[in-house]
Amino acid sequence: MPRVFLSFRKRDSRWMRESVYRALSDRLGAEEIFKSSESIPPGAEFAEVLVNQAAACKLMCVLIGPGWLDARSEDGVRLLDRAHDWVRLEIATALRAGNRVVPVLLGDATMLPDVSELPVEIAELGRLQFLRVPEAHLPDGLKQLGDELAALLPGAAAGPGPDAAPTAEPGPPATMTAHVSGGGSAYQAARDQTINLT
């Protein structure tokens, strides 16, 4: 069973989401990654598979892009405020099961949602330490993400497999924005610090 569950909103940052999926598949092995559009076989009971995987995963990565928090339906209702929203259900299921949940911020400016902006059952997400995949240094950011997640998974591969595509020539030192968790957007803006990864 896949140990890493990718939770995402389909309308949000699709190209970066696909880059994350490919990079983690190369780093950890495709069999370790659950992504609903790739991992649910035809004819399977979608809801049952999704809930079971969210409950059983060792690690859920919640991919949050700039449109994740305020995505709305055609009637103007915020999707997260709907009790049957799949993203909300996935996160709530993983949290209830006691699984490790890691917010992964996509892009250079995306902020971790404040606790007050989230439904009660997933409010804890706003207090969790996150990882960021910066758009400005995407290859380095994807490698850093893979290394961080591999360290959380016992027995994860030490590096890309022999069939993995060659990586691009290294560019300038990557930057990764780190925040002290526990606050919201305003708190984060005040506590930003930049770490050079050499």
- Per-residue pLDDT tens for 118-174? 999 999 999 999 999 999 999 999 999 999 999 999 887 555 544 444 444 444 444
* Tens of pLDDT, residues 44-82: 999 999 999 999 999 999 999 999 999 999 999 999 999
Determine the pLDDT at residue 197: 38
Cα torsion for 81, 85, 88, 91, to the nearest 10°? 180
Kindly state the DSSP code that residue 195 receives in the 8-state scheme.
E
Residue 41, CB half-sphere, CA atoms under 13 Å: how many?
1
How far is the C-alpha of 34 from the C-alpha of 32, rounded, in Å?
A: 7
Kindly state the DSSP code that residue 180 receives in the 8-state scheme.
-
Proportion of the chain above pLDDT 70, given as a percent: 79
pTM of structure: 0.78
**186, 112 Cβ separation under 8 angstroms:** no
Tokens of 28: 């950890």
Of the candidates 104, 139, 78, 100, the one whose C-alpha atom is nearest the C-alpha of residue 17 is 104
Which range has the worst mean pLDDT, 47-61, 104-118, 177-191?
A: 177-191
